[in-house]
Structure 1
C-alpha cells in the first residue's frame, strides 16, 4: 500500500512538472508578463526592421497588448495606431496599428509582452499579436510563416466570464524565438508545486506517524 502511494505521488509530480513545462512553452496566464527573445544570428541580413502588429476589428471585445523593456532595437521607423506608455508601447484591437523599429541583426532582440482585455461570453474574436522581421529590401527574415510572414504569433482569447482570466497561446515559426514567463510567474508555479508536494506527502504518511519523531517538517492547521 505504501509503495502504491509513493508511486502515485511520484507519478503526479512528474505530470505536474510536465504541465508546467508545457505551460511555459505554449500557453500563459492572462495577467502575466512574458519575455520574448529573438536570436537574429541566423538571419540573412545584417540589418533591417522588426515589426509588430495587433489584429484589429470593429465591434469586438477590447483586447490590449503592451510591449516594454525593449533591448537591441534601433529607432522607430513606422508607428501608427500605437500609443506610448510607461517604458514601451500600447496596442488595441479596436484600432488599426503597426509598429516598426530599425534593428541591427546578428545578436539578440528582446522585449516583454503583456495582454489584457474585456470578457466575451461567446469568444467570437481571438486577437493576434504578430512579430515579423525584414531586411532593408523588405524581404522576410528567419523561418517565417508563409501566410503571415510572422516569426511568432501570440493569440489572445478573452475570458468567458466577467472578472475571469483570458488565455494567451503561441505559434512560433522560427525556433530562434524563445518565450518564457517572467520570474514572478515562474515563482508562483514553483510555490504551487511545492505546496502540492507537501500536501500529497502528508497524505501519504499514516496518521499514527505524522507526529512522530524524525518527520523533519510540519504543516500548520
Structure 2
C-alpha cells in the first residue's frame, strides 16, 4: 500500500515539474539610425492554429521605447515597460503598439515559455516585430510582404518526447536576433518547490518505515 502511494506521489511530482518549460532569453534589436524623430513598433504574438499549446512571450529590458505616449495593448497582453510585458498565444492575437525613438537602437529581451503539448498536430506560435512611421500607418523597412514584419520568432512548445525550440527569420538587415537553440524541458521555480516538497514527503515516509522496522 505504501509502495503504491509512493509511486503515485512521485508520478504526480514529476508530471508537475514537466508541465511548464521555458527557452533561453533572446535579444531582438532594430537599428533605426537611418530614421529620425519618433515612430512606432508593433509586436504581435499568436498561435498558428487552435492546436497550439498554451504559451507566453515575456518581454523585458527595453531600449529606445518612448514613455511619453500611452501604448495600445490588446488581446492576452499585460504589464508595462517597468515590469515587462507578458503576451499569451490563446484567445486571438496579443498585440503591443508602442511609441519608439528613432536614431539609434531599439531593443528588448524575449523569453518564451509554454506547457507541454500533444505531439499530434503540433503547431507554432509566432512573435512578429514591425516598425511604423510617426503616422502609425506607414510600414518601414523591407519586411515580410505578407505581414510587414522585420523579424519573426517561431516558438514550438515541447511535447512528452520532443524539446521546445525557437527559430527566427530576419527580413531586413536593420533587425537582428540573438542565437536560439532547442531547450530540453526545465522545471520552473514553482515546479522545483513542488518537486522538493514531494521528495521531502517521500523521505519522511522512508524514515517512518525504517523507524517502525527498528522498533519491531
TM-score normalised by the shorter chain: which range applies? 0.5 to 0.7
Q: Whose helix fraction is larger, Structure 1's or Structure 2's?
A: 1
Residue of 168, 172, 187 corresponding to 1:174 = 172
The structural deviation recorded for 1:55 is 1.2
* CA-based RMSD: 2.5
- 1:35 corresponds in structure 2 to 27
C-alpha contact 2:52 2:125 (8 A) present in aligned 1: no
TM-score, scaled relative to structure 2: 0.64
Cα distance in 1 for residues equivalent to 2:163 and 2:22: 6
Deviations 1:140-178 (A, max 9, x none): 01121111110100001122326x531001010111112
- 2:78 corresponds in structure 1 to 83
- 2:148 corresponds in structure 1 to 149
Moved more, 69-78 or 102-111: 69-78
Kindly tell me the number of residue pairs found equivalent between the two proteins: 153
1:51 to 2:42 alignment: yes
Moved >6 Å (runs of 4+) = none
1:132 to 2:130 alignment: yes
C-alpha contact 1:38 1:108 (8 A) present in aligned 2: yes
C-alpha contact 1:31 1:165 (8 A) present in aligned 2: no
- 1:93 corresponds in structure 2 to 89
Cα distance in 2 for residues equivalent to 1:60 and 1:180: 24
Cα distance in 2 for residues equivalent to 1:123 and 1:89: 29
Residue of 101, 104, 108 corresponding to 2:105 = 108
Secondary structure of the corresponding residue to residue 178 of structure 2? strand
Unaligned 5+ runs, structure 1: 1-28, 186-221
C-alpha contact 1:144 1:174 (8 A) present in aligned 2: yes
Query: Counterparts in 2 of 1:207-218, with a 5 A limit?
Result: none
Unaligned 5+ runs, structure 2: 1-20, 184-216
C-alpha contact 2:52 2:124 (8 A) present in aligned 1: no
Cα distance in 2 for residues equivalent to 1:30 and 1:42: 35
